[in-house]
Chains A and B, each alone.
Chain A
Amino acid sequence: MIRLYRFLKPYTAMVIGVFIFVFLQTLGDLYLPTLMSDIINKGVMQGDTDKILQTGGFMLLVAGAGVICAIIASLLSSKVAVGLGTILRSKVFRRVESFSLHEFDKIGTATLITRTTNDINQIQMVTIMIMRMMIAAPMMAIGGIILALRRDKPLTLVLAVAIPLLGIVIGLIASKMIPLFRLVQVKIDKINLILREKLTGIRVIRAFNTVERESKRFDDANVDLTENYIKVNRIMAFMMPAIMLIMNFTSLAILWFGGIRISEDNMDLGQLSAFTQYAMQIMFSMLMLAMMYIMVPRAQAAAVRINEVLDTVPEIVNPKEIKDNYSGKGYIEFKDVTFSYHGAEEPALKNISFSAKPGEVTAIIGSTGAGKSTLINLIPRFYDVDSGSILIDGVDVRDMSQENLREKIGFVPQKAVLFSGTVTDNIKFGNDGATDDEVRRAAEIAQAAEFINGMDGGYNYEIAQGGTNVSGGQKQRLSIARALVRKPEIYVFDDSFSALDFKTDAKLRAALKNEIAESTVIIVAQRVGTVMDADRIIVMNEGEIAGMGTHKELLETCEVYREIVSSQLSEEEIA
């Protein structure tokens, strides 16, 4: 966690400020008992009312100054801690945005979200706690001990016994409780798991008539959790009374031994009362420190996760020297490309070579896992190849800037992703500078115009986060429109028509035909019907090209293609 605090640099002055003001506040808090003892010694014992009033007034001043210091410290520490959170969030988000898909695969989207939000919030909360308590507690403890020593050294021996005793008791209870607490968390997770399974599998459970068995499973977990909780609570029941007992015995011991010291004329009453209060302040600071020791490890886990993100260097970065001596408009060439995902034993793509020219449609077909999507993910350089090269307009994609490369490409993913915002916003995502007319045209070609016009507010219809208020087919058409409005040199469709019904699919493809006639088109598909009239069909099988050619050629030469076709079409249709 300490590593994360390097980001506090812009707040150095404020952090120093927090230390100063907390220090002043602590001084004030420590001074009050001293003044109180003055009231007793110089005022009360001597019957000096003026002195009492004077000192009292002074106490009020000290208390006032203390609260002002505390408020300033709180202001500064809030700014520092929240500022740290803000900086961390920004750093993490920027870093994640620079990640390639490879880093996303490695770390995982869900945990990246958690790390950017919850984990950083946790760090922020703990930082505030540290600023509020952990700085003050040691100062208070040390200051208290010094003052106590100044009042009466021998009496401090009481504290020398009490503080370690307190530490031992807390340590003992905590050491028993923390593992149990962890178990509680595990068991809560277990209940959540069973319940979630129950909800997602409700049909299966009822169909198999295993309601009672599931109920028992839930109840077992329930009872287990309850018993664990009770154990924790039983230990907890000892915590506070034990601490209170130690505190009370300490003050009693101070009274007793202090009394003896007084009887030997080594001390007076005012000092005794001040001493008692110092002792309590010291003990309370100790308690707070103990609490911090319970809290910090939790934040520590969050800090480790955040650091992991910050330490991950994106694999794909722009080259030092950017080449832009393009020799064409949308010419793609794969030269003996081999690619494997990290940690995979087998390469996902082996020795892929082909080229695609503007004005041509290249279709890629093959069963799931054959490497179709992997292949097209290499074109916008989402991943880097292991060996071989991919050239666009004669330049290796690794020699281009990512921005220039991707500007050439209109990408339509398999799983249509929309963002919250209006329909127009979503289509314009492909091209910021598009005019309303261009947006409309793209929507029309993508067969989206009709349903958009039917929506509340038409092009200003607000799409919810994750696109939950439009259907799968509508999402796909919008994501096609988004690519169209970009007017790219290269179109990449990754099985992008799957959610459309057959009529729309056909209409869309017909409309596309004219629009993208000038561009290079790569289509990944599952249906033979979609690829049949492509200029070139690439048949993928287990990461390799099993055949390449037109429909007719492949029927004759490629066994894999024939298999695929025969599973989908009847004999007469194949011919």
Chain B
Amino acid sequence: MSRQMDNRPKQRRPGRMGPGFGMPVEKAKDFKGSFKRLVSYLKPHRINLIIVLIFAIASTTFSIAAPKITAKATNKLQDGYMARMMLTQIGNGQKDGLKNIEKMMAQSQLKVQTDTQPNTQPNTQPDVQLDEKSISAIQEFMMLPKLDTLENGDEKADTIEKIINLGKEAPAIYYFMFKDSIDNGSKENAEDNLKFTDDQINSAIRAVRETNGEYDFRYIGMIALILIGVYVISSLFSVIMGLVMSGVAQKTVRDLRREVDNKLNRLPLKYFDMHPHGDILSRVTNDIDTISATLQQSLTQIITSVITIIGFIIMMFTISGVLTLIVLATLPLYIVVTAMIAKKSQKYFAAQQKELGELSGHVEEMYTGHKIVKAFGREKDSIEKFEEVNARLYNAGWKAQFVSGIMFPLMNFVGNIGYVGISIVGGIWITRSILGLGDILAFIQYSRQFTMPMVQTSNIANIIQSTIACAERVFEILDEEEEIADSSDAVVIDNPKGEVSFKNVAFRYKEDVPLIDNMNLDVKQGSTIAIVGPTGAGKTTLVNLLMRFYEINAGEISIDGTNIVNIKRSELRKMFGMVLQDTWLFNGTIKDNIAYGKENATMDEIVRAAKAAHADHFIRTLPDGYNTVLNEEGTNISQGQKQLLTIARAILADPAILILDEATSNVDTRTEVLIQKAMANLMKGRTSFVIAHRLSTIRDAELILVMNKGSIIEMGNHKELLAKGGFYADLYNSQFTGANLENEAV
């Protein structure tokens, strides 16, 4: 019956499929309990999980360490760069300085004199004024070895240090050194060169001492090699982690699916009648899929994210505490932005979901009722309503998309604020040689990558929430009450005759709605019981009780004198054959479908059953004969043909008792005749409960049960019931004699 319902497009519960950012999150009822329970499913895999954890830690640690190691290479590069810059500048300055000094001395412009009055030398540069200290400094400057003649880094460094110290004592030296560039007007250049901070000069001198103005590619190369190793190992670990994890999540979910399936096998029919199939289906498929996705992705993600965050913070602190604080200071900004947007976005997403639901509802209704809409010419109204909802959906939709869309840019902006902050502070610190360039670059790398795991963890919280809600729904199935188990001394009836008796049977589906009370019935082997009544009057109730799909409330039902409670369920059900109007065949070959009732049936038996059911002929006209696969919707054979197959199936199963539905609506006349013949074949010599539609069946039946609204209101044979003049008589007259009633009613 709910086959149709299942075919409807599934309406997704919001926030289901790995909720995107800002979607409303489904809350679990008992988060803690369900969480623990879900975790318990991971227990068999704990060794694997530990391996995953170890490799995750290792892999992340390596990848965290990499920027720091890179920083060493970059710093070395910076050292070389600085040293070379220092050497070229000071070296050129030394040369120029000596040249200029000599030139001036030659022009006698520069004399060793004590007279400091500028007026005596009107044509010389007024800014060259030398006192004794300067003179001795210049003398010392001239004595120094030339930088480009020196081989040793230490000597070079010493010389540079001396030049700089001398320059400090006597600024004139700087003047001589960079006179050319000053004269050329590129004053900037000279000033730039002079503007090194003391710290920078010191570290540059250190760099000269260490590198001798050469780039230390051996060192950088070594770092590079280490880095290659680190990267490879980190990737390798991460691959191993993924490989180990690939089994864990899927196997856990497989076991869960298996458990649910086994549970479904033990649940009483009541459960299936009370719960929409679509809902059960969605729990076993969609919900479990969500759990699977979460275990697969989020579990590793949460491990790596947390380790990464901690690792990053540690690494950043080792580089610079203050800079780390700058990064951490942006955290509240992240939180504020996230919280603000999440609140808005959840509101809009909920609105969008609501409008979408309404729109889908309208579309579904209008399309399924298309004929009526057309017949009554209401297309315009339908379109009008659609446009109205569509407009509302637009309004809610673009807002939801917009708000969730600005999330990333805003996060990025917050990240950029931190980035700029670090650039500024870091830049200034480099000038003071507190940090190397490499350190700053590494730090920037850390801080930029910091955003990702932060966003991930905040997302994971939501994902886990909705996953637990999914898990809860699955657990609900697992916690349902099961069918009463067969008693240990349950009997097996060999060669059942098919005598059925009801003794004081009472039954009700709902506590307060009595359905059957004190029913007594004795059916002899091979007799036919006709059940008559308006459609849906309770034929399933009878099936439910006889086959013990439901437990009766009082009294007993026995077969061949044995209370069915004492018969093994599987044996009990084997005694029955069912041919109902809503045929159930599965997606498989016709052969397999007929053989469904009897394992290891031979082809011969199958064909014989099909012949007895008058199905053989049509089966042979199909392109693949008995091997024709019934498609998913079962549309490749007609409704009547399906019914013939179920009859063949029942014939092959050879039950002692039959439950038949004579109704043959949606069946063409010819097949209808075939079905009737086949049913007659089937009923021969078997006790049959027939939901009767044909007059002959009713009249020939040993017993007629008149049912209305689920309960049996009259009982007896045709003559008795007619004589009684009750419901049956009424029914009989109106159904089979037609118009007579009209005059009465007017």
Given contacts A101-B371, A530-B738, contact A219 B220 (CB under 8 A): no
Are B543 and A430 in touch, CB under 8 angstroms? Answer: no
CB < 8 Å neighbour of A75 from B7, B402, B574 = B402
The residue that A56 contacts in the complex, of B249, B381, B427, with Cβ under 8 A, is B427
Within 8 A of B (CB), among A360-416: 367-370, 380, 382, 402-403, 406-407, 409, 411, 413
Contact A90 B741 (CB under 8 A): no
Report the minimum CB–CB distance from B603 to chain A (whole Å).
19
Quick check: A188 and B289 within 8 Å, CB to CB?
Answer: yes
Given the interface pairs A192-B285, A206-B573, A259-B77, the reply to whether A245 lies near B365 with Cβ below 8 Å is: no
- Pairwise interchain contact A97-B413, C-beta atoms closer than 8 A: no
Q: How far is the CA of A209 from the CA of B9 in the complex (A)?
A: 32
Bound CA span A59–B422, Å: 12
Residues of A within 8 A of B296 (CB): 233
Residue of B nearest to A64 (CB): B413
Shortest Cβ distance from residue A288 to the other chain B in the assembled complex, whole angstroms: 12
Which residue in chain A gives the minimum CB-CB distance to B409?
A70
Residue from B9, B397, B412, B653 in contact with A117 in the complex, judged by beta carbons closer than 8 Å: B9
A348 CB within 8 Å of chain B: no
A502 touches B398 (CB 8 A): no
Which of B118-126, B127-135, B195-203 interfaces with chain A? B195-203
Interface of A is mostly: helix
Known contacts A110-B8, A256-B224, A570-B695; A506/B217 CB under 8 A = no
Asked if residues B406 and A70 are in contact (CB atoms below 8 Å), the reply is yes
What 1/0 flags go to B428-450 for Cβ under 8 Å of A? Answer: 10110000010001000000000
Indicate whether B246 reaches chain A with its CB closer than 8 angstroms: yes
The 8 A CB mask of A190-211 against B (1 = contact, 0 = none) is 0111011111111110111111
Whole-angstrom distance between the Cβ of B323 and the nearest chain A Cβ: 14
Stretch at the interface among B228-236, B500-508, B511-519: B228-236
Q: Is the CB of B735 within 8 A of A113?
A: no
Query: Are B265 and A406 within 8 A (Cβ)?
Result: no
How many of B's residues come within 8 Å of A, CB to CB? 162
Identify which of B245, B430, B584, B667 contacts A44 (C-beta below 8 A): B430
What A residues does B361 contact at CB under 8 A? 420, 465
Interface residue? A505 (CB, 8 A):
yes
Contact between chains at B734 and A109 (CB < 8 Å): no
Within 8 A of B (CB), among A227-276: 229-230, 233-234, 236-238, 240-242, 244-245, 248-249, 251-252, 255-256, 259-260, 262-263, 268-269, 272-273, 276
B336 within 8 A of A: no
Residues in B whose Cβ lies below 8 Å from that of A202: 269, 272
For residue B396, which residue of chain A has the nearest CB?
A: A82
Interface segment out of the listed A45-53, A142-150, A335-343, A433-441: A45-53
Task: List CB contacts (< 8 Å) of B188-238 with chain A.
Answer: 192, 195-197, 200, 215, 217, 220-221, 224, 227-228, 231-232, 234-236, 238
Question: A217: nearest residue on chain B (CB-CB)?
Answer: B586
**Smallest distance from the beta carbon of A529 to chain B beta carbons, Å?**
2
Within 8 A of A (CB), among B79-118: 80-82, 85
CB 8 Å contact bits of A503-538 with B (1 = contact, 0 = none)? 101110111010000000000000111101100000
Given A90-B387, A262-B215; A417-B368 close (CB under 8 Å) = yes
- Report the interface size class on chain A: 35 or more
Cα distance A98–B587 in the bound complex, in angstroms? 36
Tell me if A5 is interfacial: C-beta within 8 Å of chain B. Answer: no
| A201/B402 in contact, CB under 8 A | no
By the criterion CB–CB under 8 Å, are B2 and A222 in contact? Answer: no
Residue from B9, B397, B428 in contact with A110 in the complex, judged by beta carbons closer than 8 Å: B9
Rounded to whole Å, the gap between the CB of A440 and the closest CB of chain B is: 19
Chain A interface: which of B157-165, B372-380, B615-623, B678-686?
A: B372-380
B365/A255 in contact, CB under 8 A = no
Check: B509 CB closer than 8 A to any chain A CB: no
The reply to whether A411 and B734 contact each other, CB–CB distance below 8 Å, is no
Pairwise interchain contact B573-A104, C-beta atoms closer than 8 A: no
Q: Tell me the bound Cα distance from A256 to B77 in angstroms.
A: 10
Q: Does A93 contact B (CB under 8 A)?
A: yes
A196 contacts B736, C-beta separation under 8 Å:
no
Q: Is the CB of B420 within 8 A of A502?
A: no
18 A/B residue pairs, CB under 8 Å, sorted by A: A52-B424, A53-B424, A64-B413, A94-B383, A97-B379, A101-B370, A117-B356, A188-B289, A207-B547, A207-B573, A230-B250, A248-B231, A252-B224, A252-B231, A465-B364, A466-B365, A510-B743, A569-B695
